Structure 1
Amino acid sequence: MLDLTQVLTYSAALGIAAAIPGPGMAALVARSVSGGTLLGFCVLGGLILGDLSYLSFAVFGLAMLAEHFNALFQLVRWGAAAYLCYLAWQFWFANHQAIEVGKPAQRKELLSAAISGVTITLGNPKTIAFYLALLPLVINLEAISIQTWALTLVPLTVLVLLSVGSMFILAAVRIRHLLSSQRAQRRLFRGAAIIMVAAAAAMLAR
């Protein structure tokens, strides 16, 4: 089991890491502005699922595997960087329409938003660095049991990311009327695209 100090340290570290601007939060804000609260929470759900995947990998030995299968992880690194660049291209050249506040999102858009949240997280160098480099410094992963992972780490991760992500979504929706024009949306999405390219470059530079 984790003691209170480890719980608080992990929560604080994860909260700070999540709040630092990166591809995930950039996409979250952009989608929340263009599609509203529901679409934003679908992206957030995908982001959380991606984080839980890396948390599980870290707890169950992905860091150890990385030491023995370096070539595979180099391939994953390049693939993730390429995917971030692809997303950046989509965000940069997106065809924007004036926002109709109150218009319900279609089911296809909600599913697409959730999938994009997962894939952005899996290709996010900040997330990878947190779970495979910083997490072992905060928590002794060798002492983590399946019960501790399932009953403590997973709910704690969901709670922290949901809290941070909700603040970004609500802030984005609150200023949505200021970004309803095509020009404002273009600037927002292109700003997100620049962040994704920067993240891809950082991943390849390491």
Structure 2
Amino acid sequence: MSVTIAPAALAALFGAMALLAAVPGVSVMTVVARAAAGGFRHGVAAAAGIAVADAVFILVAIFGLALVADAMGGFFIIVKYLGAVFLVWLGVVLWQSGAETAEGASIARPVSLFSSFLAGFLLTFGDQKAILFYLGFLPAFLDMATLTLADAALVILAATIAIGAVKLAWAALAAGAAAKAPREALRLVNRAAAIVLVMTGLYLAASASGWLPGP
């Protein structure tokens, strides 16, 4: 199938997504925390998880599957709780790890890259309102009735580049700041990253329980 999206519309969509991704929020804090605690690669992994979850939501929005959000409401609540537990666990592990004391010390890397990927994915995928956001956001730039599979692929590519580039910039800043810090500062950064992850997890759990609005 051919692409029907006008270049101007795609450029506008790209710019809007990049601006929205730059706004500090729980997803940015997660990327920053993983990059500061585990290095740039962990920030990349967390950003990749966010991008994959966003791609799923974009597909749902483009193909008009709004009812999925309602039909799978209970499932999304479970995902939110799983994400909350996972983020809190990552925070506890980071807090206990501390900074390495060997020469050329750097922040400890106690978890795998896949763990960082899951942190980003579960945080984003646990927010069922993201579907509704894309259902309301995309029609402002695209004619939803005429979109093809090629259009969907192009939108996902644009979103991945726009959102991913911004998240990677945050990760680079966090990792760069941590790399230049002295040993004691590294320990403080490690502890700060742990607190951010735990607080993000608690926030996610509270939003799943209805005590707070979702991310």
Give the equivalent residue in structure 2 for 1:93: 92
> CA separation in 2, counterparts of 1:197 and 1:78?
14
Contiguous gaps of at least 5 residues in structure 2: none
Give CA-to-partner distance per residue, 1:145-204, whole Å, 9 cap, x none: 001112x21221121122101210111012104485333322232124324433554463
Q: Paired residue for 2:61, among 58, 61, 74?
A: 58
Q: Paired residue for 1:181, among 181, 186, 209?
A: 186
Match for 2:50: what amino acid? Answer: L
Match for 2:186: what amino acid? Answer: S
List aligned pairs for 1:97-136, cutoff 5 A.
Answer: 97-99=98-100, 100-101=105-106, 109-124=112-127, 127-136=130-139
Match for 1:146: what amino acid? Answer: L
- Name the CA shift for 1:172/1:128 in 2 (closer, same or farther; >3 Å): farther
Match for 1:90: what amino acid? Answer: W
- Name the CA shift for 1:146/1:82 in 2 (closer, same or farther; >3 Å): same
Give the equivalent residue in structure 2 for 1:37: 40
Give the equivalent residue in structure 2 for 1:139: 142
Higher helix content, 1 or 2: 1
> CA separation in 2, counterparts of 1:114 and 1:137?
30
Match for 2:150: what amino acid? Answer: Q
- Name the CA shift for 1:58/1:200 in 2 (closer, same or farther; >3 Å): farther
CA shift for structure 1 position 78: 2.0
> CA separation in 2, counterparts of 1:6 and 1:19?
20
Give the conservation status (yes or no) of the 8 Å contact 1:91–1:192.
yes
Give the equivalent residue in structure 1 for 2:166: 164
Contiguous gaps of at least 5 residues in structure 1: none
> CA separation in 1, counterparts of 2:200 and 2:115?
20
> CA separation in 1, counterparts of 2:82 and 2:164?
25
Give CA-to-partner distance per residue, 1:22-60, whole Å, 9 cap, x none: 332212111111111222212222221121111112112
> CA separation in 2, counterparts of 1:56 and 1:80?
19
CA shift for structure 1 position 64: 4.2
Give the equivalent residue in structure 2 for 1:83: 82
CA shift for structure 1 position 88: 4.1
Give the conservation status (yes or no) of the 8 Å contact 1:6–1:139.
yes
Give the equivalent residue in structure 1 for 2:195: 190
> CA separation in 2, counterparts of 1:200 and 1:11?
31
Most deviating of 28-37 and 124-133? 124-133
Match for 1:188: what amino acid? Answer: A
> CA separation in 1, counterparts of 2:32 and 2:128?
19
> CA separation in 1, counterparts of 2:16 and 2:205?
23
Most deviating of 176-185 and 115-124? 176-185
Most deviating of 182-191 and 169-178? 182-191
